[in-house]
């Protein structure tokens, strides 16, 4: 079976074709970074308009690269949420309409389930169960994953997501959008130990995150000290170190709480090299293993939506004629793939 995946939840248009026997046949990704750079962040209306402009051409390219036509496609999966409602509606309307026109099943996919399953596209796949850290610009979640659709929320951010904190702090340092990767690059030139920021909510029980106070501490330090390039690099280093330490502490706590030895890390921030090094060291000490998607599948992409759609299709989870777009959609509300088997 072959499935077409469509991702338009924020500022990337991702299209992919996935075959359940041959694996990923093609994937196309268009980033709107240049479009939003002048505004210092994503402008929802502009994002929606650009998805309208790019989605159909990318679908044509993905089909051509996969050497197939609409007749070779068995279903269409599209991101239904969470995300920017206008952007979601573009992908949802196109995905559901194509499914109707081509007389194919349609599957509405949860964006974070796509991220969670992205490591399954790699040769070294994690076995169930595992703990998943989903860390991006809009979400920071710790989830116990017993199977596809069997999710227990362990902890989440009560304010800014980790990626959002990275971007906001980068902006305070005068870095261009997207700030997170630029801050990480600046931190490579920083000197360890000059500044020390708090590790939020690590001195109390629980697995929730909070990064707004850390961002405020960085803002105060930048205003007071951040006049020259080296000082700014030192602040970037200390800020990144605090975020990564906090995440590592919470992951370690989640693994001990669940008794699991496998950790999946996905989402845009999972591409951060320093985070990967820290979590690799943490898992080595625990005698466990950490799994990631390849770098190009850390950010939003159509391949993860196509893969998730294939698993749902095989379980018989298809949509009616309604067009689904859910800007807020709790991950734990999803149905297990085993529920229909």
First and final C-alpha spacing in the chain: 18
Task: Give the 3-state DSSP-derived string for 106-124, with helices as H, strands as E and coil as C.
Answer: EEEEEHHHHHHHHHHHCCC
Numbered residues of the known binding site: 111, 115, 134-138, 167, 180, 272, 300
13 neighbors 54 (Cβ within 8 angstroms)? yes
The sign one gets for the Cα dihedral 150, 107, 295, 231 is: negative
Name the binding residues for substrate.
Answer: 134-138, 167, 180, 272
> Would you give the DSSP letter of residue 3?
E
Q: 246 near 203, Cβ under 8 Å? A: no
Of the candidates 289, 255, 248, 286, the residue with the CA atom closest to the CA atom of residue 269: 248
Q: Using DSSP, state whether 264 is helix, strand or coil.
A: strand
Binding site as annotated, residues for Fe cation: 111, 115, 300
User: Between helices 162-172 and 212-225, what is the axis angle to 10°?
Assistant: 10
Name the residue with tokens 């069997």: 150
User: DSSP string of 68-133?
Assistant: --GGG--EEEEEEESS-HHHHHHHHHHHHHHHHHHT--EEEEEHHHHHHHGGGGSSSPPPSSEEEE
């Amino acid at each position: 079976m072959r499935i077409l995946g469509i991702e338009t939840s924020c500022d990337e248009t991702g299209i992919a074709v996935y075959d359940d026997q041959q694996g990923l046949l093609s994937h196309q990704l268009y980033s709107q970074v240049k479009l939003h750079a002048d505004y210092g962040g994503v402008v929802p209306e502009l994002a929606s308009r650009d998805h309208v402009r790019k989605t159909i051409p990318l679908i044509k390219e993905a089909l051509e690269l996969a050497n197939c036509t609409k007749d070779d496609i068995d279903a269409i999966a599209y991101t239904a949420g969470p995300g920017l409602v206008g952007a979601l509606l573009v992908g949802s309307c196109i995905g559901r309409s194509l499914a109707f026109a081509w007389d194919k099943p349609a599957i509405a996919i949860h964006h974070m389930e796509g991220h969670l399953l992205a490591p399954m596209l790699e040769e070294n796949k994690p076995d169930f169960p595992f703990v998943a850290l989903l860390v991006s610009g809009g979400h920071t979640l710790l989830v116990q994953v017993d199977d596809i659709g069997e999710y227990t929320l362990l902890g989440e951010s009560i304010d800014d997501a980790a990626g959002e904190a990275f971007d906001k702090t980068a902006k305070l340092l005068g870095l261009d959008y997207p700030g997170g990767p630029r801050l990480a690059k600046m931190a490579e030139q920083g000197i360890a130990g000059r500044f020390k920021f708090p590790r939020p909510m690590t001195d109390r029980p629980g697995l929730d995150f909070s990064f707004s106070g850390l961002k405020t501490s960085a803002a105060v330090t930048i205003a007071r000290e951040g006049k020259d390039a080296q000082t700014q690099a030192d602040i970037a280093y200390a800020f990144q170190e605090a975020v990564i330490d906090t995440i590592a502490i919470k992951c370690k706590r989640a693994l001990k709480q669940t008794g699991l030895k496998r950790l999946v890390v996905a989402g845009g921030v999972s591409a951060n090299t320093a985070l990967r090094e820290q979590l690799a060291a943490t898992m080595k000490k625990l005698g466990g293993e950490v799994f990631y998607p390849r770098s190009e599948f850390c950010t939003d992409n159509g391949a993860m939506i196509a893969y998730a759609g294939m698993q749902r299709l095989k379980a018989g989870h298809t949509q009616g004629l309604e067009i689904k777009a859910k800007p807020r959609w709790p991950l734990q509300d999803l149905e297990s793939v085993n529920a229909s088997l």
